[in-house]
Structure 1
């Protein structure tokens, strides 16, 4: 069990990562380009920034964590890499609201995977929250069938599952995967480079996506990928809720994109469920950490 100090550290790290991530989609949209071009620029700048940070850390302190710690690191890197591809593809095939609402389901995916593989059985409250969130996601996805967003919605579901899988494996191994989540962009970078040769290179405002890849991605993914060392996978996942709430607000302010009625209904179900469940989970965790340890009789 983590100590109160390490648990607080994990909460702060993931909070910073989650808050930073909220501007990811707006920056992608502001760049205004073909999605393979965007993926190539975002991935390549993230990789360059990551390697520079890692080399500087290694030169100044000498205790830089491994970029990919063993076989489990390779699996986590592959999951993050695939999630990046499905995420960018979803940005161009569904609305921002649908995307971030569905991505919030990674919290429940993490709880389910932790139950299956880590034997961390969810409480009845978590099971009830999972049922409510499934209803919310189904409302959004079925709405997507009528509006032509079904492919993008399913890509968002896939992205949520891949992220939850990476978080769960990180939690299970206890290894430092902070840089692993970042060097994972090698996979989408290679795929995007191949596709750009076929579709052509097109981006209207590349500085937005370069800033995104060089600054936003390293900060957000390093913090979110390091969090599972100190707090549970469901707790880490809940900080993606910040993007769920704020990204549609930024998009509405910048592009005046208004979500559909069913998307708002499903999204509200997801947000309310996650807020209630997250507050309950944090309260339960605080009770366990502050409970006195009984000495054996």
Structure 2
């Protein structure tokens, strides 16, 4: 999730040390809330994944509407939706695809597989930006991209011998590519506010799930977990990130976002005893190491004094 929203930090104004500390805390809290997604989903007993997608998206949209209404008022909220244009609409479609695929993929593969593949989003985005727009990619970043491809190949190889479902791994890859495309779009149109775009994405996901689900009625226990899955895990996490990421450099936001990848499989292991396979751990470690190298290079670039007249835009996330 953090891969879409983190581009807000690109245009962050000059902030005080106190504001930056608040931003760091909020972004960390967003990663912490997002990391519980897989663990919460494993508690939901509803058999139809589309029912889960509908209610998760419904509660997330309700929360985000309330958050924007509280923060910006009716006029401000409507203006943000109107200012999104086609870029915001495209990001909303990507987010709807990714959030829907996440829920459906949980029925076929492990939380670790999904989250560790998502760790490669910044580097996949760099590759897509190079293919579509010929954005310059440093040699070290090319090496990191190659490492991500190898790491994902190791994880996906389990589907070839029947250990995990190819549907699950395919959906996990779709999530990564959807987030990567959204990241590239956001960077090309940095003025687009991601809170209304992600809110629109939850609406798209809910509407599509409504056409696919066999039923909407769920047990009160499941509804409680669905509320937490949508409003708290997804909606509150986005609100924290959208607020905090504008106060800190993009590299800090990306680094703090890795806590989702680290903690997500840990919660599922501790709470549900879902242990990642050896190939998932190996391939995920390769992807995660490549991500840390990329973030380290981004830190070095962002901490370098800017030349007069430069805008301080980030390199591909």
If the length of structure 2 is used for normalisation, what is the TM-score? Answer: 0.80
CA distance in structure 2 between the aligned counterparts of 1:11 and 1:115, rounded to whole angstroms: 31
Equivalent residue, structure 2, for 1:40:
54
Q: Counterpart of 2:81 in 1: which secondary structure?
A: coil
Equivalent residue, structure 2, for 1:167:
183
Equivalent residue, structure 2, for 1:283:
300
- Displacement of 1:160 in angstroms is 0.7
Equivalent residue, structure 2, for 1:134:
149
Query: CA, structure 1 residues 25+208, in 2 after alignment: closer, same or farther (shift >3 Å)?
Result: same
Query: CA, structure 1 residues 51+291, in 2 after alignment: closer, same or farther (shift >3 Å)?
Result: closer
CA contact (8 A) 1:141 1:153 kept: yes
Structure 1 residue 108 corresponds to structure 2 residue 123: yes
Q: Given the alignment, which residue of 83, 92, 110 partners 1:77? A: 92
Q: Counterpart of 1:205 in 2: which secondary structure?
A: helix
Q: Given the alignment, which residue of 32, 37, 43 partners 1:30? A: 43
- Displacement of 1:115 in angstroms is 2.8
Structure 1 residue 86 corresponds to structure 2 residue 101: yes
Equivalent residue, structure 2, for 1:50:
64
Query: CA, structure 1 residues 151+9, in 2 after alignment: closer, same or farther (shift >3 Å)?
Result: farther
- Displacement of 1:251 in angstroms is 0.4
Q: Given the alignment, which residue of 135, 150, 153 partners 1:120? A: 135
Query: Which structure 1 residue ranges, 5 or more long, are not aligned?
Result: none
Equivalent residue, structure 2, for 1:195:
212
CA distance in structure 1 between the aligned counterparts of 2:206 and 2:32, rounded to whole angstroms: 25
Greater RCO between the two (CA within 8 Å, min separation 6)?
Answer: 2
Query: CA, structure 1 residues 5+117, in 2 after alignment: closer, same or farther (shift >3 Å)?
Result: farther
CA contact (8 A) 1:90 1:152 kept: yes
RMSD: 3.0
CA distance in structure 2 between the aligned counterparts of 1:10 and 1:2, rounded to whole angstroms: 17
If the length of structure 1 is used for normalisation, what is the TM-score? Answer: 0.85
Q: Counterpart of 1:166 in 2: which secondary structure?
A: helix
Query: CA, structure 1 residues 77+5, in 2 after alignment: closer, same or farther (shift >3 Å)?
Result: same
CA distance in structure 2 between the aligned counterparts of 1:277 and 1:39, rounded to whole angstroms: 33
User: How many residue pairs were aligned?
Assistant: 289
CA distance in structure 2 between the aligned counterparts of 1:54 and 1:132, rounded to whole angstroms: 39
Query: CA, structure 1 residues 157+180, in 2 after alignment: closer, same or farther (shift >3 Å)?
Result: same
Query: CA, structure 1 residues 178+9, in 2 after alignment: closer, same or farther (shift >3 Å)?
Result: farther
- Displacement of 1:134 in angstroms is 0.7
- Displacement of 1:9 in angstroms is 8.8
CA contact (8 A) 1:97 1:248 kept: yes
CA contact (8 A) 1:110 1:237 kept: no
